[in-house]
Amino acid sequence: MEEALKAPLSKFSTMKIGGEADRLCQPQNVDELVSLVNQLQEEGEPWSIVGGGSNLLISSRGVKGTVIRTAFLKDINSTNSETLEAAAGARLPHLAKYAAQMGLSGLEFAVGIPGTVGGAVIMNAGAHGSCIANILESALVFDSQAGDIKTIPASELGFVYRNCNLDPSRHVVVSAKFKLSPGSSEEISAKTQANEDYRWRTQPIGWPNLGSTFKNPLPDKSAGYLLDKSGAKDLKIGNAAVSSLHANFVINLGGATSEEVTALLEKMKESVFNTFEIEMTPEWKTMGDFSDEELAAWIKPASQNHIS
């Protein structure tokens, strides 16, 4: 297992933001992962998991305790003609392309999501009208409180929009099985490529970002539409700015801090509420030393800041 003290986390974030972790551990296999979490639980030491760092805002002030990075757990196996099993650290774009090569349909939507399998299950990641809940058969989950690993059927995970009933502070997704549909490898690969091309055309890939910032609040009104129409594309705080290409993306212009990003999120929420009287909820997760004022972007309604 790779270990480092006072490890800078910004290089493990697609936003390129994050202070130091007291300790960073990168298990090479499931046994190391489970043994490490068990040890930390027994010692009462704080711990947290990071996968691809693509939907996670890490505090610039750092993270207390041990941060466990699952990037080395990336095996992908075909368990039968219609099922793929992928470890927690497997990247979704790689998994989607692997499935296409195998002539298995269902993961085409995931090619544009730069996260890992573990995080994708926790947040029910989705795009292009589909999501993890639609294709997941089961997840192998380590329960740190019970100290055991068990297979949980998708039907028991309580999937909702961008969430499920697993608690990231307690549960660690070890791997996941996906039920897919056999088809033409050429057709599946073409659809997968089209989705990837769409991402490159419509998202600020050249800038550090964390993907979609806010959940879509209404079925017929996307977060991007509401932010665009409310003038949020003009917003910028410090080196954190709303992308001019897609209003639901916050980009790091270089040297942005988590404090600047959370302040910008508040401004974006207020912009939409002042225009449409619609509350926005961030899609990202957070990790590290955030103040209550910063976390207000996740828990405090914009209406409380609205002056009529």
Q: Express each pLDDT in 249-258 by its tens digit.
A: 999 999 999 9
Beta-carbon count within 10 A of 258 CB: 24
Per-residue model confidence (pLDDT) at position 111: 97
Is 138 an active-site residue?
A: no
> What distance in Å separates the CA atoms of residue 282 and residue 223, rounded to the nearest whole number?
10
Is 162 an active-site residue?
A: yes
> What distance in Å separates the CA atoms of residue 103 and residue 114, rounded to the nearest whole number?
22
Burial 196-226 (b: 16+ CB within 10 A, else e): beebeeebbeebbbbbbbbbbeeeeebbbbb
Q: What distance, in Å, lies between the first and last C-alpha atoms of the chain?
A: 56
Please tell me whether residue 308 adopts helix, strand or coil conformation: coil
In order of their start, the domains of the chain are 2-69 (3.30.43.10), 76-201 (3.30.465.10), 223-305 (3.90.78.10)
DSSP letter string, 85-144: EEETT-BHHHHHHHHHHTTEES-GGGGG--SBHHHHHHHT-EETTEEGGGTEEEEEEEET
- Tell me the pLDDT tens digit for each residue of 117-157: 999 999 999 999 999 999 999 999 999 999 999 999 999 99
Angle at 264 between CA 296 and CA 203, to 5 degrees: 120
- The yes-or-no verdict on residue 230 having pLDDT over 80 is yes
Mean pLDDT across the chain: 95
Is 42 an active-site residue?
A: no
Which residue(s) pair with 24 in the sheet? 4, 67
Per-residue model confidence (pLDDT) at position 219: 84
Per-residue model confidence (pLDDT) at position 307: 43
Please tell me whether residue 41 adopts helix, strand or coil conformation: helix
Residue among 20, 108, 283, 294 flagged as catalytic: 283
- Tell me the pLDDT tens digit for each residue of 51-81: 999 999 999 999 999 999 999 999 999 978 8
Per-residue model confidence (pLDDT) at position 305: 66
- The yes-or-no verdict on residue 308 having pLDDT over 50 is no
Residue among 69, 91, 162, 199 flagged as catalytic: 162
Residues 6+ apart with CB under 8 A from 86: 74, 75, 76, 77, 95, 117, 175, 176, 178
- The yes-or-no verdict on residue 183 having pLDDT over 90 is yes
Q: Residue 137: phi, psi to the nearest 5?
A: -90, -45
- Tell me the pLDDT tens digit for each residue of 152-175: 999 999 999 999 999 999 999 999
Regarding predicted confidence, which is higher, 272 or 80? 272
- Tell me the pLDDT tens digit for each residue of 82-117: 999 999 999 999 999 999 999 999 999 999 999 999
Both tokens of 28, joined, read 């090479």
**Is 85 within 8 Å of 175 (Cβ atoms)?**
yes
Helices 258-276, 292-299: inter-axial angle, 10-degree rounding? 40
Residue among 212, 243, 258, 271 flagged as catalytic: 212
Provide the strand spans (E) within the chain: 2-8, 20-26, 47-50, 56-58, 63-69, 76-80, 83-87, 104-105, 126-127, 130-131, 136-143, 148-153, 171-179, 181-182, 236-237, 240-242, 250-252, 285-287
Per-residue model confidence (pLDDT) at position 80: 87
